[in-house]
Amino acid sequence: MAPSNGRRPDIARSPARRPLGAPAPGTGRTPALGTGRILAADLGPFALEAGGTPLPALTLAYRHDGPGPDTPQVLVIHALTGSADAAGDWWAPLIGPGRAFDTTRTGVLCANLLGGCYGSTGPTTIDPSTGEPYGPAFPEVSARDEARALWRLADALGIERFAVVTGGSLGGMVALEVALERPDAVGNVVPIAAPARTSGLALAWNHIQLELVDRFGTDGLALARQLAMTTYRSETDFDGRFARERETDGRFSIASYLDHQGTKLVDRFDPDTYRTLVRVMDLHDVGLGRGGSVAALRRLAHAGAGLSGIGIEGDILYGPAQVRALVGEAAAAGVDATYRELRSTKGHDAFLVEWDQLTAVLAAALEVGAARLAARNAQPEVLAAGAA
């Protein structure tokens, strides 16, 4: 659930495009599309669902590859510790010429989430009221806040619609909220290993992780990552790779592996950011305040948006049963909903590994989503009536 190489992306803020997220005063300049570089878009003050004082400034780091809004657009959303660099890092096998999201014909946008530490406003950002990083004082963020922030970025970029909105785990949760925020602007939402609401067991695991972070800081972050890794992989994967093997120092190999994963995360991440984004997952529930999940998902049905839920064999975190339940609720709401499953021994993290299977399901989802948007364009009066 992280960038594969753990590197911090370079973020460009060209003075010629300042601010990137909106026209600079008196200039009319707008953000850049299709650069294949990570840029920073400054998007102005931002109010949060929880209330309180709005963030004085919202900045999102983003990368856009491929052509602009005259062609189908895809929004890719990262998981817990990811970055905006989907095309250059953690989903590189899926994005580019000739790949599932073919950037010769399709634009692909990915942003570092609000609350992140790879260039977007978050706990590591300077709080203008104190002159110090927000740290643990950074306000609570919800998946609906994330969705509204991403739509603000899309607006600044001139992207009105997405043929596909997709992501794995936390990214899939946010993808659902992006679609529910503007269902008439989405062709197909494709949550991968993501449920309609975070389950009690996942909340329990998250509670332990946050207790470790709160009590032990960076050491706690390393331990939280180790715990999380036991939910990201499967028993089959761990037994096949490590079983009861030992290192030269006598330690079990699996213990050495987990220690390594914890150290890697500490080297590239931030405890307060981890807390913020884990809480986004904890708060996830598409039906909250909307009359339940089925009532919420009727928004997609009324707009003609589809849903393709992708479960993962052996996923113990947000397993196939949870994704099937989401698809079933969407179908009950009248959504054109389908279920697909990745066959894998890798568990939850299969959405960062199983490239051939992902290529097939995502390319099909893009074709369907683009066709849905094209059909709406051909029948604007029907769309207007159905979305009322």
Per-residue pLDDT tens over the stretch 295-321: 999 999 999 999 999 999 999 999 999
pTM: 0.91
Amino acid (1-letter code) at residue 174: V
CB atoms within 10 A of CB 249: 6
With a cut of 60, say whether residue 67 has pLDDT above it.
yes
Residues of the chain with CATH 3.40.50.1820: 15-197+291-386
Section 37-50 average pLDDT: 96
List the catalytic residue out of 83, 120, 169, 234.
169
What average pLDDT does range 6-18 have in this prediction?
Answer: 40
Return residue ranges of the chain for CATH 1.10.1740.110: 201-281
Q: Domain 15-197+291-386 maps to which CATH number in 3.30.1950.10, 1.10.10.10, 3.40.50.1820, 3.40.640.10?
A: 3.40.50.1820
Residue 1 pLDDT greater than 80, yes or no: no
Answer yes or no: 169 catalytic. yes
Q: Of residues 378 and 226, which shows the higher confidence score?
A: 226
Label residue 5 by pLDDT band (50, 70, 90).
very low
Peptide bond into 183 cis (omega under 30): no
Q: Check residue 377 and give its pLDDT.
A: 83
**Mean pLDDT value across residues 330-355:** 98
* pLDDT tens string 88-144: 999 999 999 999 999 999 999 999 999 999 999 999 999 999 999 999 999 999 999
Residue 30 pLDDT level (bands cut at 50, 70, 90):
low
pLDDT at site 29? 44
- Judged against a pLDDT cut of 50, whether residue 348 lies above it is answered with yes
Q: What percent of the chain has a predicted confidence (pLDDT) above 90? A: 88
How confident is the model over 236-256, as a mean pLDDT?
96
CATH topology of domain 201-281: Rna Polymerase Sigma Factor; Chain: A (1.10.1740)
Res. 387: pLDDT tops 80 = no
Predicted local distance difference test score (pLDDT) of residue 7: 46
* Average pLDDT over every residue of 320-348: 98
Residue 27 pLDDT > 60, yes or no?
no
Which of 18-22, 84-88, 227-231 is predicted least confidently? 18-22
pLDDT of 146 over the 50 cut? yes
Does residue 18 register a pLDDT over 50? no
| Catalytic hit among 284, 315, 344, 349 | 315
Mean pLDDT taken over the chain: 91
Which of 78, 89, 348, 349 does the annotation list as catalytic? 348
Kindly report, residue by residue over 168-202, the tens digit of the pLDDT: 999 999 999 999 999 999 999 999 999 999 999 99
**348 flagged as catalytic:** yes
* Mean pLDDT, residues 380-388 taken together: 41
